[in-house]
Structure 1
């Protein structure tokens, strides 16, 4: 998964989503498409002979990896799979419009569980998959990491199956640490001390970089939050003004304010990775899925000097986010749900996850990561970091609410105030907490 797929959608999309929310679960009846209601050919020996299934994907590397494999699925099942692909904002708009109208298509679709999963599920647009996932013992549902399934679970129900995962890790310059005699930081205190020691702005050498933009930073500050024993919410209450939360926000914001490169307040991941790749930064925290931006010699001046480490621990230990950034879901009005599940089961099976993971798409199956051939699409040094982060990680990286964009703005405000030098961060956090609580309360009426 690339983090670029997790960027906020524009105001136009917000309007579309608003329509979806107003419509709620409107359109309770749906006319099945002619293709998906065809009966299987008599005596054909294939369970779904003659049926057509519509799959909608994002323009994403996973979509490109799965397309060449689909003919094998079609040959085995007798099913025809019609694939449509869209850019991220177009995808969400298309799905929202079609689901609001009660459409039976697409049957299966890619979606972002932590960005729109709760909205889609609350509106009745996705089919809970709990009854399907345990039917076939060979599918081995228990093989999926706990955190990846947590990301796709809404109100205790399995709303989708993970296809792309990611964790927050620590990137560092191996050469700089070696020259200074500094060990790889294992705690946030050790990270702060190392950052201070390696910060030398007179030489255009900065200690730390991460996302500083108000909304993009929220997913990355989450690991600081969890590692201090805090979270965005506690049950149905906002919790971003607790002492642990304020400490986490202050640590992140202070690292950027005091030891970040110029312009860090306006940086999202492309800018942060860009300055690190120029050799100007000692440490960076961000998504492991973006590693090639600093290890590819065509993009990075320090490609052979980059190290990876598990996110440094705080009061609660190392608690990085470990999330499903993209999943596969079933339309609740799909005309043939057994056919839709057959595709999802195949696309997320061990064999297919192995093939898509070899193309650089980090999956959620532990058994695939344990195979040497399952790790060939990733740097050897990164693989154990991914496995350990997945084992200890938290299943979300933002407030799990319907109005995600508004919630991210509320949280991001705290960190930006730290970065701007506001001396009254507790007051800022209290106001932001009230704003997040109002958002959560409003979501209850949707």
Structure 2
């Protein structure tokens, strides 16, 4: 089912998107926002009709909630369209050819901006811009301008069974080598040590492995390749070690985004989404913990990938001003609805830092730990300038390293070359 968790895999090599870096320290009530000039029309003016698109969230209640939000908007008639299936391709096609939808959720791509397909929302977000951490906004920012208002944040973390680690004399791993050793020691009695997807971790661990070494997809304002460094090959080679030593669960009935392998006792540790906390808690009560992906070594850093769809406005819309006013009303002004959207129907972190403290579901235990990881260790996977061509090249390289034992230096060099060519295409 296409849902929020799918969004976190869209980059192919990991969890797409926006990350929380520094914390503003503000908790409690969200800051007030100032009036926006394209506000609701006078009561005697005819209302325009706006078309708003969402992908098909898998959680019960989301569709009804967003329709309720739209119906309560005083400034326009808003028709919500639910889009099962390949939503992302549908958005790409719509932006090229159509004035519909007026408002939609996505993560901006630089090509959309270059082709004048989306509208800058700097004026909409300005009053509360600092309530979003810089890295959350980075997922919606191209060349300094914001094109999407982040809606809710998802992340992935390392879940582990406390009792199984204690029985094996294993401490929660703090480095990649400790993770490899722990996975080996926990592999016994029909239980594998670690599950990170049926592809052996290629899709979801590429970003965390780069970050573990203190590297990234891009650097220097997204103008240079961020993994053109010998440490990248060293980090990515660790995934081959995990795949080759028999400690990874492969061929699980459900993939990494589902907690089934962990809940059913097939693996002692699993890399999966924060959204699975309720099911895991139901299965194990307090017998689990969560960690960020560990650092490679003393000069690296722990990490979690963080994703957030943003509300965006179609530049071809016949009602751009009205669409911007609606986006401001829903995703800037209506903080109660924003909190509900993030926390009532699934297990997500509010995009606004001032709302995190109001989320009861994130107040204690592993959920509170994960919210802290988002704030302190969050990273953007790729981002608006990281293109599909670059992504495919890196993903192919990591798959060959992990599954075939291909030379990590040569494979990394090949991916660097493709990414450099893409940056040259974009920036000259």
How far apart in 2 are the matches of 1:257 and 1:443? 38
Tell me, yes or no, if the aligned pair for 1:58 and 1:85 is still in contact at 8 Å.
Answer: yes
2:104 alignment partner in structure 1: 109
Give the superposition deviation at 1:241.
4.7
How far apart in 2 are the matches of 1:444 and 1:268? 37
Deviations 1:240-285 (A, max 9, x none): 45222112212233223324445369985257x4322321212222
Deviations 1:184-219 (A, max 9, x none): 22333332332232222xx222122213539x8344
Note closer, same or farther for the CA distance 1:439–1:274 as it changes in structure 2 (3 Å cut). farther
Matching residue within 276, 281, 288 for 2:274: 288
Is the counterpart of residue 327 in structure 1 residue 320 in structure 2?
no
Matching residue within 356, 378, 383 for 2:367: 383
Query: Which shifted more, 244-253 or 153-162?
Result: 244-253
Tell me, yes or no, if the aligned pair for 1:163 and 1:324 is still in contact at 8 Å.
Answer: no
Deviations 1:45-80 (A, max 9, x none): xxx7522221111111454432223333x2xx2421
Matching residue within 119, 129, 142 for 1:127: 119
Alignment of 1:159-308 (within 5 A): 159-200=147-188, 203-211=189-197, 213=199, 217-234=202-219, 235-261=222-248, 263=250, 268-270=255-257, 273-292=259-278, 294-297=280-283, 305-308=287-290
1:435 alignment partner in structure 2: 418
Is the counterpart of residue 53 in structure 1 residue 53 in structure 2?
no
How far apart in 2 are the matches of 1:124 and 1:395? 27
Is the counterpart of residue 68 in structure 1 residue 52 in structure 2?
no
How far apart in 2 are the matches of 1:170 and 1:329? 32
Q: Which structure has greater helix proportion?
A: 1
Tell me, yes or no, if the aligned pair for 1:166 and 1:287 is still in contact at 8 Å.
Answer: yes
How far apart in 1 are the matches of 2:226 and 2:339? 39
Alignment of 1:268-417 (within 5 A): 268-270=255-257, 273-292=259-278, 294-297=280-283, 305-315=287-297, 316-349=299-332, 350-359=335-344, 360=346, 361-371=348-358, 374-376=359-361, 380-398=364-382, 400-401=384-385, 403-404=387-388, 406-417=389-400
How far apart in 2 are the matches of 1:158 and 1:130? 5
Tell me, yes or no, if the aligned pair for 2:254 and 2:260 is still in contact at 8 Å.
Answer: no
How far apart in 2 are the matches of 1:421 and 1:402? 26
Query: Which shifted more, 62-71 or 407-416?
Result: 62-71
How far apart in 1 are the matches of 2:379 and 2:11? 22
How far apart in 2 are the matches of 1:369 and 1:177? 31
Tell me, yes or no, if the aligned pair for 1:152 and 1:161 is still in contact at 8 Å.
Answer: yes
Note closer, same or farther for the CA distance 1:267–1:357 as it changes in structure 2 (3 Å cut). closer
Deviations 1:75-109 (A, max 9, x none): xx2421111110251x33433333222x3332110
Deviations 1:344-367 (A, max 9, x none): 123223222112123124321112
- Provide the aligned length of Structure 1 versus Structure 2: 390
Matching residue within 116, 126, 145 for 2:133: 145
How far apart in 1 are the matches of 2:231 and 2:214? 6
Q: With CA pairs under 8 Å and 6+ residues apart, which has the higher RCO, 1 or 2?
A: 2
Give the superposition deviation at 1:294.
3.9
Give the superposition deviation at 1:172.
0.5
Q: What root-mean-square deviation, in Å, do the aligned CA atoms of Structure 1 and Structure 2 show?
A: 3.2
Q: Secondary structure at the match of 1:347?
A: helix
Query: Which shifted more, 342-351 or 234-243?
Result: 234-243
Give the superposition deviation at 1:403.
3.3
Note closer, same or farther for the CA distance 1:398–1:218 as it changes in structure 2 (3 Å cut). farther
Unaligned runs of 5+ in 2: 13-39
Note closer, same or farther for the CA distance 1:310–1:384 as it changes in structure 2 (3 Å cut). farther
User: Who wins on radius of gyration, i.e. which is larger?
Assistant: 1
Q: Secondary structure at the match of 2:308?
A: strand
Give the superposition deviation at 1:414.
3.0
How far apart in 2 are the matches of 1:396 and 1:305? 30
2:31 alignment partner in structure 1: none
How far apart in 2 are the matches of 1:259 and 1:400? 37
After TM superposition, the score normalised by the length of structure 1 is: 0.77
Q: Secondary structure at the match of 1:420?
A: helix
Unaligned runs of 5+ in 1: 11-38
Give the superposition deviation at 1:307.
2.0
Note closer, same or farther for the CA distance 1:262–1:309 as it changes in structure 2 (3 Å cut). closer
Give the superposition deviation at 1:9.
10
Tell me, yes or no, if the aligned pair for 2:390 and 2:415 is still in contact at 8 Å.
Answer: no
Query: Which shifted more, 61-70 or 328-337?
Result: 61-70
2:22 alignment partner in structure 1: none
After TM superposition, the score normalised by the length of structure 2 is: 0.79
